[in-house]
Amino acid sequence: MTGHDDGKDSGEGDAIKVFVRIRPPDSYDTDIGQVLALKVLDETSLVMNSKPESRVFTFDKVADVTSTQESLFNVIGKPIIECCVSGYNGTIFAYGQTGSGKTHTMLGPCEDADNFQHELRGIIPRSFENLFNNVANEQEMNKGKEFLLKCSFLEIYREDVFDLLEPSNRGLHLRENMKKGVFVEGLVENAVTSAVEAYQVLNSGWINRRVASTSMNRESSRSHAVFTITIESKEKKDGVQSLRVSQLNLVDLAGSERQKDSNAVGKRLKEAGSINKSLSVLGNVINSLVHISHGKTRHIPYRDSKLTFLLRDSLGGNAKTHIIACVHPSSKCFGESLSTLQFAGRAKMIKNKIFEEKLIKLRDQCNKKDACLQSTKMIVKF
Ligand code: ADP
Ligand code: MG
């Protein structure tokens, strides 16, 4: 979503918040007494045990191996969701090498709807519960306010956009306009009226992702998965109906590891190349934004990859953004963990420019087909 003049500015820009989560070592590592590459110093810092000298990193929070899914959600998820319900855009994304705990953190082990209440459920299912609770509270305080929540779920694989809610929908294009900002043309959006329904949408998309990874040879560790909830709220003030639209993006990124297999040929090489491209453009975007934060003007290469174009408003734009950098503590992962922490350290220096999404006065918009559509059915059941 793009910002607009009549959106309320929340202040002098908001730094992207960066959290680090260290997953538990593999039992194999502990059995053979594998040395750990990093050590938590306190709630916000950790040290990488490198030679000749150790390196200390500081973040908004460092979650050690004992951190629970619930405590992590309270720190990382809750504040963003509250903002989204009040009309701001929000994005949470997990970055790190394959096996570092991104999917565990975002989704958890509950890959089927019956496991919705699993205590290890991750940030995405917890977001649904919190979001609907927040919406209910908001409606309690403001009786005339109505909400419509819609979910979409896509995968970016080798710079191709696939709709996980409608597998025949592939090769989708990113577009941009004044009203919607950057959006995916033709992407299915399912209206949801409860956390359980949202969970069912997530679950069906996740199953499609797994099916594609086996039947179509699409390796999920090499793709980016983006779950988006669009929140529309309608209220009447001083006799004028208005509509506000905000978005929450929940992103499980592809593994950030460098391609080591120098024998990779053909499709595998192309695959590795494009994954590297997407994540390396993400790195370039972050670097450029850091330069801008330091007062230097620079072109930001958002359009160089699908991922960065889609996340444009979350990176330096109009969104509250939390990044979870996931790391494996084993010394055999030292190089990848160091590069994840360096990426995270740079991202921490970016300030987003945040304002509430514009209120669309429905009376002014009633000849616009979709604004009218949005205004006609907007009931959320609890
Ligand atoms: P990624 O998505 O980064 O490739 P996963 O989330 O699939 O990594 O994690 C790899 C394995 O480690 C999974 O079996 C997962 O259950 C386990 N794991 C990751 N993080 C944690 C954690 N914080 N606590 C317990 N197990 C974890
Ligand atoms: Mg994963």
Ligand 1 within 6 A of CB of 108: no
The pLDDT of residue 344 is 95
Percentage of the chain surpassing pLDDT 70? 79
Residue 247 vs residues 1, 178, 318: alpha-carbon distances, Å:
8, 15, 10
pLDDT in tens, 76-117: 999 999 999 988 899 999 999 999 999 999 999 765 556 666
Which residue, by CA, sits nearest to atom 16 of ligand 1? 104
Ligand 1 within 6 A of CB of 340: no
pLDDT confidence bin for 149, thresholds 50/70/90: very high
- Whether 101 has a binding-site annotation, put simply, is yes
Ligand 1 within 6 A of CB of 329: no
Who wins on pLDDT, 22 or 365?
22
- Whether 100 has a binding-site annotation, put simply, is yes
pLDDT in tens, 231-263: 999 988 888 888 889 999 999 999 998 765 444
pLDDT confidence bin for 28, thresholds 50/70/90: low
Find out whether 314 and 354 touch, Cβ atoms under 8 Å.
no
Ligand 1 within 6 A of CB of 169: no
The pLDDT of residue 357 is 64
pLDDT in tens, 260-316: 544 455 655 555 555 567 888 998 898 888 887 677 767 899 999 999 999 888 887
Tokens 């360096």 belong to 342
Ligand 1 within 6 A of CB of 100: yes
What are the two backbone dihedrals, phi and then psi, of residue 34, each rounded to the nearest 5 degrees?
-60, 135
pLDDT in tens, 110-140: 655 566 667 889 999 999 999 999 999 999 9
The pLDDT of residue 54 is 87
The pLDDT of residue 111 is 59
Which residue, by CA, sits nearest to atom 5 of ligand 1? 101
Ligand 1 within 6 A of CB of 102: yes
109 Cβ partners below 8 Å, 6+ apart? 115, 118, 120, 121
The mean predicted confidence, pLDDT, of the chain is 82
Ligand 1 within 6 A of CB of 314: no
Greatest mean pLDDT among 123-127, 288-292, 346-350, 373-377 lies in 123-127
Distance from Cα 330 to the centre of ligand 1, integer Å = 14
The pLDDT of residue 7 is 38
Q: How far is CA 136 from the centre of its chain?
A: 24
- Whether 58 has a binding-site annotation, put simply, is no
Query: Which of 78, 74, 77, 59 lies closest to 21, judged by CA?
Result: 59
The pLDDT of residue 237 is 80
From the CA of 333, which ligand is nearest?
Answer: 1
Q: How far is CA 310 from the centre of its chain?
A: 11
| CA gap 155, 267 in Å, rounded | 18
Which residue, by CA, sits nearest to atom 18 of ligand 1? 101
Distance from Cα 256 to the centre of ligand 2, integer Å = 11
From the CA of 97, which ligand is nearest?
Answer: 1
The pLDDT of residue 15 is 75
The pLDDT of residue 4 is 35
Ligand 1 within 6 A of CB of 224: no
Half-sphere exposure in the Cβ direction for 321 (13 Å, CA): 30
Which residue, by CA, sits nearest to atom 9 of ligand 1? 101
Q: Has residue 324 got a pLDDT over 70? A: yes
